[in-house]
Every structure is written in structure tokens, then in C-alpha cells.
Structure 1
Amino acid sequence: LFDWMTIHKKLFNKLLFCKMRNLYSPLLRHFSQSSLPLHRNTNVQSAFCTQQNVQECLSHINQEVSSLGLPTVWVELDESSDLNVVTVLNCMYDLIQLHHRSLRTLENIEVEQLKSNSKLDYLQLSTTRLKEQLECSKRENTGLLERERQLQQKVKSLQNCLKNEKEEVQKLQNIIASRATQYNHDMKRKERDLNKLKERLNQLLADKKERKQAIDVLNNIGRADGKRSVWKTEKTEAKHEGEMYKALLSDYDARQRDLVLENAELRKVLQQMKNDMVSLLRLKKLTQNGVQNQCNGTQVEEDGFDPSKELFCVHACEKLTNSLRLQWRRLKSHVEQLDSQGIETVPRESHEEEMDKLKLEVQQCKDLIQTQQHLLQHQLNSSCDEIASLRNDGYMLQEKERLRGEWKTLEEQRSIFDRERKNFTEAAIRLSHERKAFEEDRATWLKHQFLSLSPCGDLKKPLLSDTTGASSTGVCLFLQRPPVDISTSFEICISTGGKNTQMPRSKPAYCGIKCH
């Protein structure tokens, strides 16, 4: 800016010098030329002074000279008048100087006017330049505002993603905590079983070492103090019989407590499975009445399976079977509805296999509950002989082995369910990406369609017809097809069984669209 101003000043000085020279050269020439004819034409142009009005002209000149502040050139006396030549010459010189000063002032005024005109031009240029800078700054400001808006939208989307990730992490933490509690419980139960088996093995080994060729005494109850028993009398027999009954009752109570604990644990596991099935079958788009009925039904079922309440085995078995039947019916109706809609997420053969497997598992659970019920009733009503107790021990061992097998199968099914859930989450993520790409294609097509429908786009319509022909068919079919709920299809696919039924990659939610 400083360099530009210095260059402008130099150009202004040169222009001013040229204008001054062009302007004052004809004026001076005219003045020098006009001074000569003034003296030459004094005799010709004698309109002001003649021989008759000399006195009047002198008096008039005296007045004018005195008005200009100069001394008078003619003094009028009483009898005679005298013309002062020196005074006339001085007045002429003063008039010439006054004329020169007026010329200089005129010259200065013209110079100032030129300067003011140049300043005005400079200010006009600076105002135009500042206006351009203002427009540029406004454009930059609008660009920055648009960028800020885009960044705010991006921040909002990232916040939503972070919230979803936190919810997913919370769900995974809850699942891990539930698995940890279940594993701890299994470890404690296995430790108890191991200790019991060790005690039994030690007892059998000790009995085998001490066995001799003699009559074995059955149901021998030793004394607590380790002393030998006295002679058998009526009092001693009654006392020994009471001790035997007490020992048997304590043993039965301990076994019953263990069975009650195992039944409560199994009931918790079955209740958790039921809740998982309910959560998988719960749809997002339900009417308010349907939601209230389902909530009431689940509350009633949960009240029936409250672990804090001590229910009898018969009632527990009935409620468990009723709830499983109800959930199975819901699952069956939901799968039939999906088949009627034409959404085949799982092959039919694998679906039938999974249904058979689930039916077999339900039947096994029912058999397990019935056998436990029979065992409890048999233990409560059994006699006090050792043969029955040994038989019950054998039954208990068999049931424990069977329960171990059932727990192993349940753990395998749980791991399979977890793998399926992971696979379906990945499929849902891919589906969301594909849907986003399709929405972008749809937006571009609508944009081209809008431009083709506008008056200025009629010339471009033949060019756009070839490019937008394929996308128009896909978009129209997409608008006519109802949207598919990703979460519903994901939950249904998880609840169908233990096999890995991952959705194919080439079948997104809008797989029914045929793009030509």
C-alpha cells in the first residue's frame, strides 16, 4: 500500500506540472500580447477620457486609487492643478504588483483545485477497493459459517455414535457380569460335588481296607465320644434308635437343601432364558394395547417365577411349562408371520432342525423337573433303611451326571448364541452402510430429477435421461416397498437356534429392489 501511494504521488506531481504549464502558458502569452495593444490603442479607444472630461476622469481615477489604498495622482488646488508623475508611476507599479499577486493567487487556487480533484479520485479508488475487500470478507464469513454448521452436525453425529457405543458397552458389561456370576456358581457347585466324591471315595477305600471275613454290620451308628457301646437293653436300644433317626433326618435335610438350591439355580437359568426369548420377540412397532397386554403377561409370568417365594415343585413345573409353551407359541407365530411376508432369513431345513432341537431341549427340561419332583417325593416318603439310601445315592449320582451333561450343552448353546449375535451385529452394520449409500444415490437422483423439471433444465433433460434411467426404477421401487426393521430381523434370527445363520452380505434391507 505504501509503494502504491508513493507511485501515485509521483504521477500526480507530473500531471500537475504538465497541466500548469499547459494552462498558464497561453495566459501569460495573452497578457504579454494584450499589454502592447493597450498602449497602441489608447488614441483609438478614447471612450473613457477625452479633452472635454479630463477633470472628471482625474477625479474618478483619484477615487479609485484611494479606494485601493494608494496615494492620489492629482491634487486639486484652488486656482491651479498639478499632476504628480512620480505618484502616477508608483501607482502604476503597485497596480502591476497587485495584478501579479492576483495571478499568483489564481494559480494557487487552480493548483489546490487540481489537488482536491486528485484526492477525490484517490478516495473513489480507495472506496471501490474497500468495497471489494468487504465483499470478499463477507464471502469468507459465509464460508466459515457453513463450515461451522457442518462441524456442529458432525459433532452431533459423533455424540450420538458415542452414546450408542456406551450403551453397547453397558450391555456387554451386564452380560459379562451375569456370566461371571453363573461361572462362579458352577465352580462352587463343582467343588461341592468334588468334595463329596472325595469323601465317598475315601470312605469306600477305608471300608475296603478294614473289611475282613466276618459278618458286616449294616447301619452301624457309632458314638460321638468314640467309646464302646454297652450291653443292649431296652433303654440303650431306644436311645440308639433315636440317634439313628436323627442322623437319617439330618442327612435327608442336607440332601433336600442341596436339591432345593439346585432347583432354584435351574429356575433362575430358565427364567433368564425366558427373559431372553421375550426380549428377542418384543417388536418395536406395536400398538399400545398390544404392548400393555404383553407387559401384563410378562409381569404375571415373572411373579410366578419369583425366586424369593418358596413354591412347590408341582406348581413350579406347571408355571414353567406354561410359560415355555406361551413363549414357544409366540415364537412360532412370529416365524410364521415372517414366512408369510416372504422374508426368509434362515434356510427352511436349518430352521426345522433348530425347531426340533428346541423341542427336544424343552422336553428334556420337563423330564428333568419331573425326575427331580419324583426324587424329592421319594426321599420324603422313603423308609429309613440303608438299601433305599444307597439306591437314592445312585439315583442322585446319575442325576448329577445328567445335569453336568445338560450344563455342558447349555454352555455350548450359549457360546453359539454369542457368536450368532456378533455375526448379526456385523451384518446390521454392513446393512446400515449399504442403506446410507443407497440414500445418497437416491438424493443425487432426486437432485437430477429436480434440475430436469426446472425451466432452465429442459435443455439438459435428454442428457440426464440416460444416466438417471437405472436409478429411477430402483428409487420408485424403494419408495413403494415398506421399510424393514433391522432390529426385529436381527432378534428373530438370533432366537431361531444354535447354528450360525449369518445373513448373506449381498442381501441388505432393500434386497427386494431390482435395478435394471
Structure 2
Amino acid sequence: MGEWRATNISSISHVTMSPSRHNHVPVYSLPLFRSSYSVISAFCTEDNVPQSISYLNQELAVLGLSMCIEASLSEGASLKAVPVLNAMYELLQIHKRNMCALEEMEKEQLKKLSTLEHIQISNSRLKDQLELSMREKSGLHETERQLQLKIKTLQSCLKTEKEEVQKLQSIIASRASQYSHDAKRKEREAAKLKERLSRLLIDRKEKKLAIDVLNSLGRSDGKRSMWKTAKLSASHESEMYKALLGDYETSRKALILENAELKKVLQQMKKEMMHILAPRQQSTSGAAADDSQEQVESDEEKAGNASREALDHSCELAREQLLNSIRQQWRKLRNHVEKLDQGTSVMESNKETIPLETHEDEMERMRQEVQQCREFIHAQQQLLQQQLNTSFDDETAALLNDCYTLEEKERLKEEWKLFEEQKKNFEKERKNFTEAAIRLGREIVSRVELHILLEYNSHHNVTVAKNCGFGNNSLPMLFQLPHIHGLQVIQILGHLSGL
């Protein structure tokens, strides 16, 4: 009996049904019943009805069904229809529920598979994003390191530039003090020379025109000789007159040579004055120079004629002409130089004050910007330390890093532009400092050369005045020079060197 049950159960277990058939049971009920009856007919026969009933009851009890199949006692082999139908209905409901549960489980399994695939895809995508963010982070760290190195190099360059500026300022200050001491010393020497010259001119006595007897023949006893006869007296008188005439001729020739030299000097001085006083008005100055030369030539002719007529009159005319021309030229020179001195003093004061103030303002602004850069770097270090200490999500950390790096790049670009502008301004200021130092050196050198030239001219004028016999009151007017600054000195020396 046990073997029969095993064979029947194994044969029943091989019968399978699809979910579609179970879902559509009412439509295909008749063919299903016929096919199932042909299968189950091998399980239950007329001989083994009670055994099959007991087996089904056991199975129903195992399934938890309370309905039991009972056989009718009257007919023998027949069954009661109600419990069998109820049992079959319950079996069908259980089967439907199992199939629904199976479908739901399949659906859930499909959903889980799709979610698993989505999670795997998102995981791979997040891994790629993580690798990309790590690469960007490493690149940003590298750029930050390079920027820090650049900032350090720029700070070192700024320090070296500041040191150079301080050195240049100290050199300029030392040279300015040295030049001021030299200028004061030269001024003291010039004042001493002027005082000495004025003393020499005051102490010198006036030299009057007189007839000097040259080669006078005196007697041994110191008495005057007496003319004894007319012949001797006539011969002695003729010798005396010849000697006087010879002396007059030699003195006249010497005076003519001196007058020619003085005329040459006067023409040279007039040319120099015309070049100095009117360098831009060449046409008018040329006409005036021609008129003055014509006047000088006419005066020279008149003076020559007068000197031929009378020696005393020619000397007075030459002296008056020299005095008047030299006074007029020196007055023009003094007025012109005073005007130039006033204009250039205002220009130099403006040029010297404005760059110094701008330089101080620029230095203060650069110090403030350096302090701001230091504070900014310190704040960046603190933020980086906080980011390393705190734990964020990968996406939020990447977004924050991107925001911070973009802001830092923009700030660094602006700071780099400001630094380039400051560097250009600093280079301009350094060029201005060097040009000012060079200009100051040239002015001092030109001032020294002017002092030497003035001393040479003063000595030359003194010798000329002594030879011409000027008065003591007229000579000091030649040496009343105004205080001349560097630019006028350079112009005067340039015109003199061009001549």
C-alpha cells in the first residue's frame, strides 16, 4: 500500500499547471476536469476508495483544513458531495492565493533586481565622480601650492625692491648732503674771491693819463743841465722831441692793439649774450645782433677816427662804450635768468613734492595690501584645516571645494592684477628717483663749472679794466650776478659749448 501511494504521489507531483491556467479557471473548467479526471483515475479506484479518502483527509489535515471527506455508508463506494466540494473550493482558493503570492514575489524580485542594477550603476557613477573629484582636488592642491610659491617669490621680490628703494634713498640723501656741502663751500670760496677782488680794486689808486718822460738823462751831481749855445740847445731839443714822438707812437700802437683786443672780446660777449638771452627768437635776435654789430662797427670807426685825432678822446669813448654795452648785456642777462629761476623753482618744487607724496601713499597702500594677503592666506589655511577635520558627504564636499576654489581663483586674479599695477608704479617711481639723482648730479657739476667760468671771466674783466683804466666805481657792476640754478646753468653752458 505504501509503495502504491508513493507511485501515485510521484505521478501526481509531475503534473504542473501554469499561472495563466489558474487565473482563468472558469473558462477552461471542462477540459481541465476531463484531463484531471483521467490523471486522478489512476489514483482512486473502486477498490481503494477508503484508503484514498483517509489519505486525502490526512493531507487536508496537514494543510490545516477542517473539512473532512466522508464516505456514504448506504451506497458503499460513493462520497458525500458537500465536503468534497468545499475541500476542492478551499484547495482552489489556496492555490490562487499561492499563485498571487508567487506573482507578487516575482514582481518584487524583478523590482529588486532593477533596483540592484540601478544601485550598481549609480555606485559606478559615484565612483567615477569620486575619482574625478579626487583628481580635481589634487590639481587644486597643486595650483594652491604653486600660488603659494608665487606669493612667496613676489614677497621676496617686494622685499628686495624695498631694500633697493631704501638704498637709493640713502644714496640720494648722502649725495644731496654732499652736494649741498660742496655748493656751500664753493659759495664761500666765491664770496672770499669777490671780497678779495673788491679789496684789490678799492686799494688800487686811480691811474691818470699823463706824459711820462722816458730815458731822461740826468747829471751825476743831480742838477739840471744848462744849455750853453744855440746849436747845442737846438740839437738837444730835437732829440727830446724825437724821443717824445717815439714814446707817443709806441703808446698809441699799444692802445690800438688793446682796443682791437677789447673789440674782439666785446663782440664775443655780445654773441654769447644773444645766444643765451634769445635762443628761440633767432630772427629778431639776428636782426638786433646785426644792428648792434653795425652800431659797434660805426662806433669803432668813430672811435678809430677819434683816436687818430686825439688819443685821450678815443680812450674815453672806448671806455664808455665798453661800460655801457657790458652793463646793458649783464642787466638783460640778470633779468632773464631771474625770470627763468622763478619759473623753474616753481616747476621743481611741484615736481619734487608730488612724487614724494605719491610714493608714500603707494608704499602705505602696498603695506595694507600685503597685510590683507597675509590675513587671506591665514583664513584659507584655517578653512582647509576645518575641511580636513570635519566629515562631509562626497558630493557636498566636492561642491564646496569647487565653490571655494572658484572664489580663490577670482581673488588671486584680482590680486595679481593689483600687484602688476603696483609693480609698474614702483618701476616708474624708481626711474623718477634715478633721474632726479642724475639731474641733481648734473646740476651740481654745472654749478661748479659755472663758478669756475665766472671766476675766469671776473679775472679776465679785471685785467681788461686795468689795461683800459676803468674807474673803481664802475667795475663792481660787472660782478653783481644773481643766484643761478641748475637748469639755467645747463642752458648757459650748452650755449657756450656750442659757440
Q: TM-score, normalised by structure 1?
A: 0.31
Whose RCO is larger (CA < 8 A, sep 6+)? 2
Structure 2 length-normalised TM: 0.32
